[in-house]
A and B are shown apart, each in its own frame.
Chain A
């Protein structure tokens, strides 16, 4: 709120403004999934998901196998915020959403999502991402949220270029897999575009621009 819009009150605490209240409840539940904090009890599920043959080259480890002992460090490395994605009704864990490599000087952060192979085509991953981005923009004064993806992952949401996000860069022939090098795409969701993007993806944004 701009300074001129602040309420005035003769009972203000000395020379300081009247304190305002705010809705500080984080909305972490959607149509299908809920985001909840990760606890040590979730590590076994997350470890198995991370080293699953079907996801191991698609997610952050990119084929490496962190040891179970080092896994918590791997999981929390450079993380700003991270939640477990749970199917809302059955409370079945289905993946994670992660904001990492935050750059406070430039007000940007990177986003990663991992969903177990059984559910990756269900739409739950995208709903989790929508809820998480809303959370990120509400809690931090971020300008942009970047998503960096190898082209075979990017193909899953490339239809959103120019509609929901901007393509900001491409590292050509950057990442090796299966006998060839693949492009890595960097796209960005802009804060000012987020409420309309969220609406078109079925989410009511409460973000104040």
Chain B
């Protein structure tokens, strides 16, 4: 179930997930903020390292101590939004 977000936040999240899943070559699917990386997407340790790499390529390097607290796509998007906030356009769309 999707968390309460504004439509522009939804749009940003959807664009973020679209790029992430494309880079990771994950199957097309409807992803939600509370989609869990391990339990729902089945990401193993190797896939998690790929996630970190893709995030870094998106200028959103995950800090060393943050990974244990990242469980869902929403958590990842929050990291992305925080890391790229200063570089985002006023409309909040991702680059």
Within A86-112, the residues touching B (CB, 8 Å) are 89
Residues of B within 8 A of A164 (CB): 46
Q: When the two chains form the complex, which single residue of B47, B52, B67, B68 contacts A159, counting CB atoms closer than 8 Å?
A: B47
Residues of B within 8 A of A127 (CB): 49
Q: When the two chains form the complex, which single residue of A89, A121, A123, A158 contacts B52, counting CB atoms closer than 8 Å?
A: A123
B86 on the interface (CB 8 Å rule)? Answer: no
Closest to B49 in A: A126
Q: How far is the CA of A127 from the CA of B53 in the complex (A)?
A: 11
Query: Chain A: interface secondary structure?
Result: loop
**Total count of chain A residues near the partner, CB < 8 A:** 19
Q: What's the nearest-Cβ distance from chain A to residue B43, in Å?
A: 7
Q: How far is the CA of A136 from the CA of B48 in the complex (A)?
A: 24
Q: What's the nearest-Cβ distance from chain B to residue A129, in Å?
A: 9
A122 on the interface (CB 8 Å rule)? Answer: yes
Q: When the two chains form the complex, which single residue of B46, B50, B56, B68 contacts A122, counting CB atoms closer than 8 Å?
A: B68
A190 on the interface (CB 8 Å rule)? Answer: no
Residues of B within 8 A of A157 (CB): 44-46
Question: Could you write out 18 A-B pairs with CB less than 8 Å apart?
Answer: A31-B64, A121-B67, A121-B68, A122-B68, A123-B45, A123-B52, A156-B44, A156-B46, A157-B45, A157-B46, A158-B44, A159-B43, A159-B44, A159-B46, A159-B47, A164-B46, A200-B53, A202-B52
